[in-house]
Structure 1
Amino acid sequence: MTDVLGDPAPDGLLEAFWAYETALMGDDLAALDRLFAEGPDTLRGDAAGLLVGHEQISRFRGGRGGAPARSVLEVHVRSFSHAHALVIAITELERGGRGQQTQVWRRGADGWRVMAAHVAVPAPAFDSRVWRVVGDPLVRPTGSGPLDGETVAVKDLFAVAGQPVGAGNPAWLEQAPVEPTPAWAVRMLTGGGAAVRGITRTDEFAYSLAGTNAHHGTPPNPRAPGRISGGSSSGSASAVSLGHASIGLGTDTGGSIRVPAAYQGLYGLRTTHGAVPTAGVMPLAPSFDTVGWLTRDAGLLARVGDVLLPDVAPRPVREVVVVPELLALAEPDVAAAVEAFADRESAPRESWNLGELESWREAFRVHQAAQAWASHGAWLRTRLDVLGPDVRGRFEAAAAISPDEASVAAARVTAARQTIRELVGDRVIVLPSASSVAPLLGADPGQVRDATLRLTCLAGLGGLPAVSIPTATAEGLPCGVSLVAAPGRDRDLLAFAVAHAERLRP
């Protein structure tokens, strides 16, 4: 029998509390919605962050798949009045460990309802949504340099000596060989003084921008609780955002560094195509694949560049331009945040004719898909059922592309690359890193993906470097400002990001 301690409970309070507990264990979403107060002021918090408003809390519950099984050991009641009370429940999780739930209840005409709740459970020793394997560290530094004391979260596409490459798919991991040597980027980072903290989750074969891996779940987004992490460098981004590692090593084919950077308020760099060797990295679409990385501050982003990028002296960024037609491709809240950044930089407006953009995006999609099938079709042809629904759909579409369609798309990509490089010239172009803030968990990311690719494919088609600088909407949700420059100007973008961060310091 559960002990009830403290003040005498007002009439009906304990009945409402136990109804809530029953609904929670049964994942009865309708009952949980009824027992939480309606309106925009209801609160629910845990270690991942604070959710504000009944609607946001309801969406979170709908996307999490139920709460961990537990039993209630003690209930402590403190009554403030006949209509307000504090209830603290001490719980024991079925998987082990003690937890605590603190709730503020209010009685109205429709009975007792939760106004605010905070949930505390034992932190997992290993969050399998973020990590495939971790160590203390997994790989020690092999040298000393600008990254002394830093730790790296390595996307599960890079070879790490002594480990297989899992590519976000359990069936692939099961048959993957142990890698005898590290990928070039991993070797350079450890040689520069960094330790590898572990290997992080990715969307399957890196063929997504969402981070919602069907097998391992969605890594948390601590900067925007209840929203997706962004992918496909999802685990690396979340590891950095959570403070588990200081550097997130990833890849960017169609936005897989820039999108999670925007969604989680991080700095991120997609490098010039070919600037950083991809030796030891599982390919998706080699014509677009690039190495990239994420950090919480601009200075470290640049120091990683000192280790991985060609040793070319940076040139000053003399002209920063914003294109209204590109801003218009983003949601209004994100466009306003990016435009505010451009205004602070006194960036002039320059109109572009984007009449070919949709055909460019389609050429990017087809050319990427044809290469993805060339990279993985031989293995997947009889194993498509091992993929989650979204990635499977993309590979099925890729398998159906004819040689003629692939050839036409490749020619359009070549033409688009030339045009985009001419448009960018020697300037830096300001545009949104993603078309929106991170979508809510459980929402269909399909439309968001298409809208974001209209923005991110420009750097991909051009083979251009792009740095994502964190900013926020008026509502405080993280989003990203993407700065795109000519090939080889990676260090120029990094120097600009560092200078911008210094200007913001009080």
Structure 2
Amino acid sequence: MTQLKPVPHGLLQAFRAYESALMSHDVAALDALYASSPTTLHGDADGLLVGHEQVSALLEADGGAPQRRIVQTHVQVIDDDHALILAATDAEHGGRGLQTQLWARDPVRIEHGGWQITAAHVSTPAPAFDSRIWRVVGDPLISSHTPDGALSGETLAVKDVVAVAGFAVGAGSPAWLEQAPISSEHAAAVAQLLDAGASVRGIARTEEFAYSLTGLNAHYGAPPNPRAQGRVPGGSSAGSATAVALGHASIGLGTDTGGSIRVPAAYQGLYGIRTSHGAVPRTGLLPLAKAFDTVGWMTRSAFLLQAVGDVLLPATAVSTPTKDEIRVVPSLVGLATPEVAAAIEGALPESEPLDWSPQTLEEWREAFVTGQAYQAWQAHGAWLETRLDTLGEAVRARFETARSVTRAQADEARAVLAEARAEILEVVGDRVLAYPSASSVAPTAADAESVRDDTMRLTCLAGIAGLPAVTVPLRTATGLPAGLCLVAAPGRDRDLLALAADL
């Protein structure tokens, strides 16, 4: 008969100290109870963190764990210096959670008998639905009446600036939602997808008025990024992207003005397309800047991305470019961080580079931002004039800037953009250009605003010239998602979708 090994001295005391620190959000104590090693592990529903530095950053940023109590504890002793502890927990708000921890004893340490966690996995009670991701969700919310359509069996996460009949458009703003009328008709894109057999799973969260690239909504929180734990999901089509990445829906329907499809797709390892300006009807969309607004979508596969295009895009002859025809633009790749640049170069090692360095790119970005801001205030200023205080800090700052843009400044920006558009269209010609979809991997919330301008220098190009842009998921050397952006002349959306499917 095998004898159970006795629990080593100090182990349970260390376990209780961890639980006490977790419930009181004592970050310093929690940090000290995790082994200071690059191999320390922490896993939960949002993903896996590797190394004490990443674990420590999570402890600092998560704002504290929900209150709970331990109801069962089981210890399996491996040897005198290693043990596995499994605990069942009851959450204060209901539901059962589980926690697994691998503990190791460092004979040099005195505190807590030298015991520290080297690996942990936590599961918490699943919510009925995640309000960070969804405004409203069903199973499905809206059914298709086309049982044998091209998209039968597919499900939509519809960004909350796109009309779904029977529901108001909430625009990521509680104040706007409170007074918004119920939509009597579906947006044109929603209606087409329903006719093709897809159903609507739900209405997904967006940043306020789709005026951001981070995915951080001041009222509802940020949808998680399941491919890059502890990092922002990207926006403004954040909820749609996360719903697809998590498998809650197969198609994330959204909009892209300055990168709101391409950035979340890049940050979360998805395929995505910003369509040519005007290629897909924008009927039923709440505008941000009509001169740049487009319909877009995200999927987990290039095949489905193309299948949605077959439904939404106008019928045109497809001339599929080959991988050898893609021209990487080194000057634009150089605007990205080294790890993203390396991923782009590694994906297309044989591609012939295109020698194009737009000399006034920063002026173009500034003109795009000014033009976007002027149009955003024209669209929403009358309502926001007395309600700016209802907005989160970052979006409020953008609208305050937008309010100050004069007609003369907008006209100057329009002239700059006209020259930029002409140059971009000439350079693109019949080529397919490649450069990063975003300037970096998904940043943390603390760093998100600092990379905005860098990313906008890349994303504004398609917006200025009305180009279609497809983002293809890549991985950096550290395993984080990044995006390869492919652009072509207006109207070549189907060509890019076919190319992405062949890569």
What's the TM-score once normalised by structure 2's chain length?
0.96
Q: Tell me which of 315, 320, 341 is aligned to 2:319.
A: 315
Equivalent residues in 2 for 1:32-43, closer than 5 Å: 32-43=30-41
* CA displacement at 1:82 relative to structure 2: 2.2
1:180-225, CA deviations, whole angstroms, 9 ceiling, x for partnerless residues? 1110000000001100000000011101111011111111111112
Q: Which residue of 2 aligns with 1:241?
A: 245
Q: 1:454 corresponds to which residue?
A: 457
TM superposition shift of 1:497: 0.8
Tell me if structure 1 keeps the 8 A contact 2:214–2:449.
Answer: no
Aligned to 1:327: 333
1:321 counterpart SS class: strand
**Residue in 2 aligned with 1:469?**
472
Task: Indicate yes or no: 2:387 matched with 1:383.
Answer: yes
**1:286 and 2:290 equivalent?**
yes
Match of 1:176 among 170, 180, 185: 180
1:15 and 2:24 correspond: no
State the partner residue of 2:28.
30
1:383 shift after superposition: 0.9
Where 2:117 maps in the other structure, the secondary structure is strand
The corresponding residue for 2:151 is 147
Deviation at 1:444, TM superposition (A): 2.4
Alignment correspondent of 2:492? 489
Q: Partners of 1:26 and 1:416 in 2: how far apart?
A: 55
Supply the AA of the counterpart residue of 1:83.
Answer: D
* SS state at 2:353 partner: coil
Other structure's SS at 1:236 match: helix
Aligned partner of 1:83 in structure 2 is: 81
Tell me the residue number matched to 1:114. Answer: 117
Query: Within the alignment, does 1:124 sit opposite 2:127 as a pair?
Result: yes
Secondary structure in 2 matching 1:87: strand
Q: Does 1:404 align with 2:408?
A: yes
Pair 1:260 & 2:258 matched: no
CA drift at 1:142: 3.2
CA contact (8 A) 1:8 1:77 kept: no
- Which string of whole-angstrom CA distances, capped at 9 and with x for unpartnered residues, describes residues 275-313 of structure 1? 001110000011110000000001110110011000111
Structure 1 residue 423: Cα displacement: 1.0
By how many angstroms is 1:61 displaced? 2.3
Displacement of 1:7: 5.3
Which residue, 342, 348, 351 being the options, matches 1:336? 342
8 Å contact from structure 1 (residues 7, 77) kept in 2:
no
2:434 is the counterpart of 1:430: yes
Letter in 1 for 2:422: Q
Bigger CA drift: 137-146 or 405-414?
137-146
Counterpart amino acid of residue 490 in structure 1:
D
Q: Which residue matches 1:504?
A: none
Give the % identical residues.
62
Cα deviation 1:253-293 (Å, max 9, x = unaligned) = 01111111111111000000000011100000111100000
In the alignment, the residues of structure 2 paired with residue 341 and residue 80 of structure 1 have an alpha-carbon distance, to the nearest angstrom, of: 44
Q: Letter of the aligned partner of 1:497 in structure 2?
A: A
Note the alpha carbon deviations across 1:306-364, whole angstroms, 9 max, x for none.
11000111113263111110110000111111112222xx3211211321100000000
* Residue of structure 1 in register with 2:236 after alignment: 232
Deviation, structure 1 residue 145: 2.1
Residue 222 of structure 1 aligns with an amino acid whose one-letter code is P
The answer on whether the counterparts of 1:155 and 1:233 sit within 8 Å (CA) in structure 2 is yes
One of 70, 73, 83 as aligned partner of 2:71: 73
Q: What letter corresponds to residue 128 of structure 2 in structure 1?
A: A
SS at match of 1:333: helix
How far off is 1:60 after superposition? 1.7
Higher mean displacement: 198-207 or 10-19: 10-19
Q: What letter is aligned with 2:363?
A: S
Tell me how many residue pairs correspond in the alignment: 492
Q: In 1, Cα distance between the equivalents of 2:346 and 2:48?
A: 27
Q: TM-score, normalised by structure 1?
A: 0.95
Q: Which amino acid aligns with 2:84?
A: L
Q: Work out the CA distance in 1 between the residues paired with 2:348 and 2:429.
A: 18
What secondary structure does 1:443 align onto? helix
Q: Counterpart of 1:302?
A: 306
Structure 1 counterpart of 2:33, which letter? L
Report the Cα distance in structure 2 between the residues aligned to 1:201 and 1:148, rounded to whole angstroms.
Answer: 24
CA distance in 2, matches of 1:325, 1:365: 21
In 2, the alpha carbon distance for the partners of 1:300 and 1:105 equals: 44
Unaligned runs of 5+ in 1: 1-5, 501-506
Is the CA contact 2:193–2:311 (under 8 Å) kept in the aligned structure 1?
Answer: yes
**What CA distance in whole angstroms lies between the structure 2 residues aligned with 1:80 and 1:421?**
66
C-alpha distance in structure 2 between counterparts of 1:105 and 1:320, whole Å: 51
| C-alpha distance in 1 between matches for 2:384 and 2:28 | 40
State how far apart, in whole Å, the 1-side matches of 2:221 and 2:199 are: 26
* Secondary structure of the corresponding residue to residue 24 of structure 1: helix
1:57 corresponds in structure 2 to 55
**SS at 1:397 equivalent:** helix
Quote the RMSD (CA, aligned, Å): 1.1
In structure 1, the residue matched to 2:369 is: 365
Q: 1:48: how far off?
A: 2.0
- Tell me whether 1:277 sits opposite 2:302 in the alignment: no
* Rounded Cα–Cα distance in structure 2 between residues aligned with 1:217 and 1:321: 39
Q: Does 1:206 align with 2:225?
A: no
